Structure 1
Amino acid sequence: MTTIMEAAKGILSTYVDDEPKSPIHVGEVMNLWTYHTVLTEINRFVEMSLNTTRDDELVVALKNSYNDCRGHIQEVESLFRDEGIPLPPTSEKKPHSNPEDVPLGVKMTDDEIANGISVKQVSTLTLCATGLAQSIRSDIGEMWLRFLTDRVKFGAYFMPLLRKRGWIKVPPSYYPPGAPQH
């Protein structure tokens, strides 16, 4: 049996790479444009979060998220420059500040920060899967597969921290009508 990565590589290799690259299509552009925007806004959230939290483990997780997102942003920007596609407008970087100087009415809790990253993680996973499914060009598909793999790895790293700190939000159990209650 093949691994997921081998299967995905096999699917992507069905594209003929010897042919000239087709122009990037509007769906590929839109997915990448949206992904770039979401990642940039995630990094603005991370910058604000780093200005708020004093939790050492959360700081490490935030820095890991930031670096992962920054790498993806740079790759999309490089592709856009090569293809002549304008970059989306995004928020400006946030300056560093001391968490002690942030007023309590503005300061996010560690729970809010962790769940904000978690929600953003879910949206990026969805964007990566959609981008991969809609890619025509093999180079774009391979890029989406790498992005998806990186996002899954971050999720596998981040989820234990959410559980450990009690920050994970778990919906109530569902029991169909007539099923025995546990």
Structure 2
Amino acid sequence: MGILSGNPKNEPMHYGEIFSVWQCSTIAKGAVSCYQAYMSHAGDKDLKRILEDLLDQAKLEIKECDTLLTENGIAPAPTLPERPHVEFEDIPAGARFTDPEIAAKVTADTAMGLVAASQTIGQSIREDIGALFAKYHATKTALGLRILQMNKEKGWLIPPPLQVKRPDSE
């Protein structure tokens, strides 16, 4: 049998895996806090459904990553306090995030999450960690597609410069 072969859960995590799992948990904890606030600011029902799904995914990532860290003797970052629910109408218009602003932020967060998951998959030598982040990557891909479709349907998508006129090929 080769080096580090056998049950991956019995193998030590290397420093890159430790940091990536810890970072995923920490970022997910920040996302929960932020998306809970966005739930109070969002007016669009489709956006609220996506926020709920993003919250569920972030909470799952926290649970799974914190368990993995704890089982390996690493203390996870502390969890932020739950945000209280605020009625949409109680937030002054000038202080309220708009639905397109929220959609743009979750679009960027999801795209960055895809890159981070890919990086963790690539650096992992423990198969269980690579598989865990492959699962996160697949979920973020599906959520990203739903967000893109919503942004297009609502007219919230701000595309980069488009090449309308193509150069003549000679």
1:31 to 1:71, Cα distance in 2 relative to 1, 3 A: same
Shift of residue 18, structure 1, vs aligned partner: 4.8
Q: 1:165 to 1:91 in 2, by over 3 A?
A: same
Aligned counterpart in structure 2 of residue 64 of structure 1, from 28, 31, 53: 53
Question: How much identity, in percent, do the aligned residues show?
Answer: 24
Task: Trace 1:158-173 onto structure 2 (pairs within 5 A).
Answer: 158-173=147-162
CA-based RMSD: 2.1
> Are 1:102 and 2:75 counterparts?
no
Aligned match of 2:74 in 64, 82, 85? 85
Count of equivalent residues: 165
- What's the counterpart of residue 179 of structure 1? 167
Q: Which runs of 5+ in 1 are unaligned?
A: 1-14
Separation (CA, whole Å) in 1 of partners of 2:123 and 2:62: 19
Q: In 1, distance between residues paired with 2:9 and 2:38?
A: 45
Q: Deviations over 1:64-96 (max 9, x none)?
A: 111111111110011111111111245432111
Worse overlay, 88-97 or 139-148: 88-97
Aligned with 2:95: secondary structure?
Answer: coil
Residue 126 of structure 2, aligned match among 127, 137, 148: 137
Normalising by structure 2, report the TM-score: 0.88
- TM-score normalised to structure 1 length: 0.83
Distance 1:20 1:100, change over 3 A: closer
List structure 1 segments (4+ residues) > 3 angstroms apart after TM superposition: 15-20
Whether the 8 Å contact between 1:131 and 1:141 is mirrored in structure 2 is yes
Structure 1 residue identity aligned to 2:104: N
User: Deviations for 1:35-66, whole angstroms, at most 9, x for unmatched residues?
Assistant: 11222212212111111112111111110111
2: distance between equivalents of 1:151 and 1:90? 22
CA distance in structure 2 between the partners assigned to 1:157 and 1:126 by the alignment: 18
